[in-house]
Structure 1
Amino acid sequence: MTTSQQHGADDDLPIRDGMIRLGQALKLANLAEDGAQARTLVEDGRVQVNGEVETRRGRQLHPGDVVTARGSSVRITAAD
């Protein structure tokens, strides 16, 4: 079992800058097709961060955070 699976994530999403906004992460992880869909998912309460519903599209995510939407999860990781 990989580290991401232990934390409930299907995949890892590496980031370079130590932080990424929720809306950006949803698009990069292919959990949303575009910014409009990301906004709708978040506003409708269909996105979770670390197991809790998140309604702020601008929420800052850091390595270790797990984002869940549309039946899939990704874990934010630091890029090498």
Structure 2
Amino acid sequence: MESVKINTEFITLQQLLKTTDVIQSGGMVKWYLAEHEVLVNGEHETRRGKKLYAGDVVSIPDIGEFKVTTE
């Protein structure tokens, strides 16, 4: 599991996907979420603006898991 450190209250799912190089640009996120399974804390998520807080886990089959942490 890879950690994604934030220094703000939250990060959006779109920002996390870009930060971890899962997608190349923000314009790809809507398509990516429609075509691929993305789980946030074990639940399927399709909202690019979903707020992720410290302790949340994003799982993407065949790519990996990312845990949001604070500095």
Q: Give the shorter-chain TM-score range.
A: 0.7 to 0.9
- Structure 1 residues 61 and 18, CA gap change in structure 2 (3 angstroms): same
- Structure 1 residue runs of 5 or longer lacking an equivalent are 1-9
How far the C-alpha of 1:33 sits from its partner, in A, is: 2.1
- The alignment of Structure 1 onto Structure 2 pairs a total of residues equal to 70
- Structure 2 residue runs of 5 or longer lacking an equivalent are none
What's the TM-score, normalizing by structure 1?
0.76
Is 1:25 aligned to 2:12, yes or no? no
Pairing of 1:1-80 with structure 2 (within 5 A): 10-44=1-35, 46-71=37-62, 72-79=64-71
Q: Deviations over 1:16-38 (max 9, x none)?
A: 10201110111101222221332
Please tell me the root mean square deviation across aligned C-alpha atoms, in Å.
1.5
Sequence identity (%)? 33
